[in-house]
Structure 1
Amino acid sequence: MSLDQEALYETRLELAGFLVDAFADYPPEKLLDRLLDGAVTLPEAGVSEELDAGFEKLRAFAAENEGRDVAAVRDDLEREYTRLFVGPRPPVLPHETYYRDDTDFRGKGLAEVEASYSAAGWSPPEEYPEEADHAAVELAFLRHLIQRQRRGAEEAFGFQRVLHETHLSEWVDDCVRDVLANTDEPFYEAAAHLLSGYVAFEGEIAGQMS
């Protein structure tokens, strides 16, 4: 593997990991430490419109919280995550079956998502309490496929193409619009823009390689 390929895999996995953390629960202090200490190097503009917007929002988040206690920042994000995604009556439900017109919320479409995981020999980690169609779980599956690709498993590109064509790419932009319409917290605005841009980026890779 060339250095450029290795760097690309590192970037893909880092973005996937950030998005899993952002949507699975309120972010861990370790991630916030890195963001607020400047330990995360964010690309300059020119990647894509959505990714650029996400990185800019992360810079705004870091600047807004510079010098604050990390635990206090996490408490703020916990409250916003709960309001946005947990409720009661959350304005955003980041589940594929909520946004799909061809299935009921947590209905038969849930089994179809689970079947995609099973076909690739993967099951969601036990630490993810959400249903299989939750954004964080689908992103964790994508991360798993990227890790397999990095190890040379070419069939993982085919599984990724199916993930995009039948699941992930079919609903995330609608979810992103709802997140952006319901929060002015830079961290979650960043997560929304990065989700849209990252899924589009990965969809292009899967289409080219599978």
Structure 2
Amino acid sequence: MGYEQKITSMHLDILKEIGNIGAGHAATALSTLLDRKIDMKVPHVKIVSFDEMMEMAGGADNVVVSVFLRIEGDAPGSMFFLLPLAQASAFVKLMIHDEHFSFEASPPSELGLSAMQELGNILSGSYLSSLSDFTQLNLLPSVPSLSIDMAGAIIGFGLIEISQVSDYAIVIDTALKEVTAEDAEFVNGHFFLLPDPDSFNIIFQSLGMHE
């Protein structure tokens, strides 16, 4: 029986708590960076199949903004942070104080692209730090890379190695917004954590699940 079939609601609650701790760290970092109060939460954590990943991203042909990084250390793997174009644009506008910025413009401004990469860097670093503290695993993020492409092409890149052994990934829903803006709505994105073949076992064993 694979790990994905043995995961209980308790294990998902642990992963959600790890995600919320990471979200708290990220919210603090973003609030300092933007000099305004940012609220973040993790409404859901799920174990999903690769087909479900595509559905959550809006389908293989849906164009998204993605920040990708490799995880090195005790449990190597890949991590994607995906946002729809409109929602990514909305948060970058806040970061760079440019109401005209859009990822649908061709090409987007270098300042906007750098801001999005920094957003992904802060979020992924916060989540990995939380996961590392909770599991006592040494997890080190690579420099993140930014892509604007169809979800199928972006996610497929990260599945080349893992798909030979596993068919599942950990998804951490992420919602963030500016607290002080009365009309602000949550910007909703997805973190997809794709442990390498051996790392899925390592992570869940560190959380107390053993074969």
TM-score by length of 2: 0.27
User: Is the helix fraction higher in 1 or 2?
Assistant: 1
TM-score by length of 1: 0.27
